[in-house]
Amino acid sequence: MNIGISCHHTYGGSGAVAAELGKALAAKGHRVHFFSQAAPFRLGAFSRNIFYHEIEMMHYPLFETPFYTLALASKIAEVAFYEKLDVVHAHYAIPHALSAMLARQMLEDKCAESKCFKLATTLHGTDITVVGADRGMKDVVRLAINKSDGVTAVSGYLKNETVKMFNPKKEITVIPNFVDTSLFFRSPKKEIREQLGIGDEKIVIHISNFRPVKCIGDIIRIFYAVSQKSQATLLLVGDGPERSEAETLVRQFGIVDRVKFLGKLVDIVPLLSIADVMLMPSNAESFGLAALEAMACGVPVIATLAGGFPEFIEQGRHGYLLPPGDIEGMTEKALLLLSHEKHWQDCSEECVKQAKQYETTLLVEQYEAYYTKLLTEQ
């Protein structure tokens, strides 16, 4: 198949999933064309079956902001026509599905509708819970969903939220996020600790784009409480709007020497391989890819009873789930895991087993079958 993938290039779960999906499809012989403002951060090395198309936006004094949605639509239409794309897979309803929808309309006078590409849209969360929740954008999101040939969601939670908010005409299929366990596995290296200036203490980790929904302040408060009873270091991987406040909190609590802000990193496996616990106290999470990747590396997760976490994290087996904002409870569970080696070892082994249920090859096969279904439907 010739497959187009439209996605955000920036640090985050949707961009990671889109890039990993495209790479896996290319490895199976499909030709994959990526459309984004810059190369997706997980795209990696050259592949003969992967093609990247940068979206160049027009800058004109009359327009206050560049027309990314229109530029994307134009590029999709161009590539779809000349490369004979079978499917365009839009990751996010807005703007990607909307742009692909416009691209099809551009092609109406160039190719018969039966030969035009099929549009598959994957909902990742923010397009529904944030953009879609905005009254001024709701009808636009609904249009993008209903004009897609097929719609998937990364969790049952997100599917239910979408149905509740939009009552879409399209049936939504759940295809969860995935992890490549041939890349994500525990392989601790002493030199990583040395490079970070860390000794034998326990390591707590968090990975995200530091948006308000990630509750970075709660992570600092939990770790501060943990640090009063355990020798531990906190690794914060990522960046975003909440970083400055987090750095202020760290200084106020006097734990600057025990917290390391590492910024955005592509290769996170070496860090996950030395981590003992992951903290994910999000208010909402459509799936929680970072948690799944941590589990693949044998890291138990302390997360919230919110969003998609309960769909793959079992209480007491892969870590713990607590209500959002329960700093005291999360502190207690973190200390439990950090201080009881046998319990931690059992959870770590179960995490690895659970991650294998979300192996990339299994989920990519589901996407291939989904594309085939769309192409055979009239």
Kindly list the structural domains of the chain, giving each domain's residue range(s) and its CATH number in brackets, ordered by start: 2-178+359-376 (3.40.50.2000), 190-356 (3.40.50.2000)
Percent of the chain past pLDDT 90, that is, above it, reads 73
The per-residue pLDDT for range 139-158, each reduced to its tens digit, is 888 999 999 999 999 999 99
Closest CA relative to residue 86, chosen from 363, 374, 378, 364: 374
**Order of strands across the sheet with 301-304?**
259-263, 232-238, 202-208, 277-280, 301-304, 319-322
Is pLDDT of 5 > 90?
yes
Question: Residue for token digits 């020497």?
Answer: 257
Mean pLDDT of 113-124: 85
Give the confidence band of 93 by pLDDT, cuts at 50, 70, 90. Answer: confident
Mean pLDDT of 118-140: 76
Is pLDDT of 365 > 60?
yes
Which amino acid, 337? L
Q: What would the two tokens of residue 97 be? A: 């599905």
Is pLDDT of 22 > 60?
yes
What pLDDT was estimated at residue 269?
Answer: 96
Q: Is the pTM of this model over 0.85?
A: yes
Is pLDDT of 75 > 80?
yes
What pLDDT was estimated at residue 88?
Answer: 97
Is pLDDT of 133 > 70?
no
Is pLDDT of 227 > 80?
yes
What phi and psi values does residue 280 have, to the nearest 5 degrees? -135, 75
What pLDDT was estimated at residue 96?
Answer: 92
66, 56 in Cβ contact below 8 A?
A: no
Which amino acid, 378? Q
What pLDDT was estimated at residue 44?
Answer: 72
What pLDDT was estimated at residue 323?
Answer: 96
Higher pLDDT, 132 or 376: 376
What pLDDT was estimated at residue 278?
Answer: 98
Peptide bond before residue 310 is cis, with ω within 30 degrees of 0: no
Residue 4 in 3-state DSSP? strand
280: left (phi over 0), alpha (psi -120 to 50) or beta: beta
Question: The dihedral of CA 265, 313, 284, 157: what is its sign?
Answer: positive
